[in-house]
Amino acid sequence: MGSNLIITYQISEFKSRCLKIMAEVAQSGIPVEITKRGASLVRVIPATANEPSTPYGALNGTARWSDDLFATDERWDVFD
């Protein structure tokens, strides 16, 4: 799902076709936005849309490596 496609339904139509629309979202992966009088209320997204495929990749890219784990990047002047 690389595109920004979102299908929009008015709340009355979503209410009458709720189960079918949710099944379509699960199958296609395309989110659905529900509106009421033109204003966005909620989005229905596939359950796996934001979940990492494995727990090992969940934090990928969120940390950086340092050769000196205790470095503060502060300069200390020491007097003799």
Note whether residue 73 is domain-resident.
Answer: no
Residue 12's pLDDT is what? 95
**Sheet-wide strand order for 7-10:** 7-10, 32-36, 39-44
- Residues 40-61 have a mean pLDDT of 75
Q: What is the CATH number of the domain that holds 20?
A: 3.40.1620.10
Instruction: Evaluate if pTM is beyond 0.85.
Output: no
Q: Is 43 helix (H, G, I), strand (E, B) or coil?
A: strand
pLDDT at 1 over 60: no
CA distance 76 to 73: 10
Please compute the mean of the pLDDT values over residues 23-41 and round it to a whole number: 94
Structure tokens at 12: 């009355």
The answer to the question of residue 60 being in a domain is no
For residues 74 and 30, which has the higher predicted lDDT (pLDDT)?
30
**C-beta neighbour count of 35 within 10 angstroms:** 15
Which of the four pLDDT bands, split at 50, 70 and 90, describes residue 14?
very high
Split into its structural domains, the chain has a count of: 1
Q: Average the pLDDT over each of 1-10, 49-58, 67-76 and give the range with the smallest value.
A: 49-58
**Domain for residue 40, yes or no?**
yes
* In contact, 21 and 44? CB cutoff 8 Å: yes
Strand partners, 8: 33
